[in-house]
């Protein structure tokens, strides 16, 4: 299954001091990006961060929504990023669905 995953840095991810920002980057952000890079190399995800922003969009290819939830919650940055996931319907599945709906409309 494919999912669109949108991530946006929350206010908790912005420190008030240089030291707080260093800790957030060192303990949460950089380790998460390293994990995402490993997943990208395995072909599990594609996408990236929006340049100049602390937000991102990825397509995750996983076996289930539960697997996606496990992956996302295991990322250290899940504590400071708002994350939204949306299942993606394949083009073939969308076509089959719409053809079936069209057949029903033609019969009506």
- The pLDDT tens digits of the residues spanning 11-41 come to 877 888 999 999 999 999 999 999 999 999 9
Token reading at 38: 């490993």
Distance, in Å, from the CA atom of 44 to the CA atom of 66, rounded to the nearest integer, reads 15
In the block, tokens 């949108």 appear at 6
Cβ-Cβ contacts under 8 Å for 70 (sequence gap 6 or more)? none
pLDDT single digits (tens) 49-71: 999 888 999 999 999 999 999 99
Domain boundaries, the chain: 2-107
CATH number of 2-107: 3.30.70.1060
Alpha helices in the chain (DSSP H): 18-24, 30-41, 65-74, 91-107
pTM for this one? 0.85
Query: Which residue's structure tokens are 């260093």?
Result: 22
For residue 16, report the phi and psi dihedrals to the nearest 5 degrees.
-90, -15
The pLDDT value recorded for residue 76 is 96
């Amino acid at each position: 299954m494919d999912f669109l995953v949108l991530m946006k840095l929350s206010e908790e991810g912005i420190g008030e001091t240089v030291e707080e920002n260093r800790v957030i980057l060192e303990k949460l952000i950089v380790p998460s990006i390293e994990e995402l890079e490993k997943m990208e190399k395995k072909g599990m995800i594609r996408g990236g961060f929006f340049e100049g922003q602390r937000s991102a969009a990825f397509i995750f290819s996983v076996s289930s929504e539960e697997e996606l939830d496990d992956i996302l919650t295991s990322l250290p940055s899940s504590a400071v990023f708002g994350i939204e996931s949306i299942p993606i319907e394949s083009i073939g599945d969308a076509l089959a669905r719409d053809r079936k709906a069209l057949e029903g409309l033609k019969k009506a």
